[in-house]
Structure 1
Amino acid sequence: MYQFNFRPVFDNLDMLFYGAWLTVQLSFSAMVLGLIVSILGAVAKTSGGRVLRFIVDIYVEAIRNTPFLIQIFFIYFGLPAIGISMSPNTAALVALVINVGAYGTEIIRAGIESVPQGQVEAGRALALNKVQIFRYVILKPALRNIYPSLTSQFIYLMLTSSVVSIISANDLAAAGADLSARTFANFEIYLALTIIYFLLAFGFSTLFGALRRTFFNYPASR
């Protein structure tokens, strides 16, 4: 009979919590940088020339139709063959940014195109320039429409980031793997990781829901 032993978990909670903090840091950094890539990609797809749209389409389709594991392997193990080497943490961040940038491009593009054309025409009739139209006419309605998708993408990104431990990047999954190798309490440690990831996802989901109700006047769900 298996003898459960949670002492290695309780004795190393600081290590697991630090790993969770690294996961949150990595996810936020990747999301912020990925949003910049996404905005540029969405603007290119909605307002750019044919060549630029074609390049963005290739990027989006290439990332969305290949596994994230292969992408991170290519960046960390493949690029050094042509002289581009990165530390595990840098490679993890770059892979996450590239990945979320592709998905975010389509999310933001859909948000921009969801704004009724009549509102844009009204902005032009008021002699607003393109920047003013984007800021005062398109931005808030688009954000309102895509906010659930963007926040879901962040949570998905945070959970997907556990894959980066496979190249020895520092995160919660890596902390758990290291602790498991030292204590052999595999069941207990990975159960603890499951609970921590769930609490992180649930906590951010609750926070994003509260922010949505505050900034976009959504009623609380019943």
Structure 2
Amino acid sequence: MQTTSTYKILVVDDDPDIVEMLHYNLTREGYHVAQAGNGKTAIEEAQAFKPDIILLDVMMPVLDGIAACRQLRDISEFRHTHIIFLTARSEEFSEVAAFEAGADDFLTKPIKPRALLSRLAAFKRRDAQQDEISNVIEIAGLRIDRTSFAVYKGDSKITLPKKEFELLSFLAATPNKVFSREELLHNIWGSDVYVIARTVDVHIRKVREKIGEENIRTIKGVGYKFNTD
């Protein structure tokens, strides 16, 4: 687990005033900070800087945040990097579109430094909790290695983005127990992160596409469970 002083954050926004404000507040807290002014440059900078967290504006020239997020998630080393979208209230912005692209969270502009630092601290706490997990789950033909974020079905390795992996791992750890969307949101995204219940449905659908429909069952009107029946 990294300390604050070694956590690296990439700030991506085409507004230099926002970049300067975020850079000032983050470096004052001991974070290492790099910056980019559009999505294309962000991808190049991410590959050189290797950030732990990316703060990504939505509306940018050259390559917007949604497209940049999708491209970053297609690069193996960034599949588990935390990506937080920055969006203006006036933008016609869909939370579902953000999470479909692979976002972990989003913040609404104007960015309040205290709220941002609190959000970053929440991600760090979850990283610390994940570092303490060192077991492997073998269930229903799947082998879920929670130390390497790897899922195996038979001889095939299945690659899942971090939130999809955490969701599968959480459900599989307590098979046949039904969890409501609210419980899943709280346990996977945390109480410090604002996401909608639809986010769970999006991630469940993506997990099913990769591991098969039979492992996760929908309990209508209640939620989801990992099925071993």
**TM tier, shorter chain?**
under 0.3
Q: Greater Rg, structure 1 or structure 2?
A: 1
TM normalised by structure 2 equals: 0.24
Higher helix proportion (structure 1 or 2): 1
- TM-score, scaled relative to structure 1: 0.25
Of structures 1 and 2, the one scoring higher in RCO (CA 8 A, sep 6+) is 1
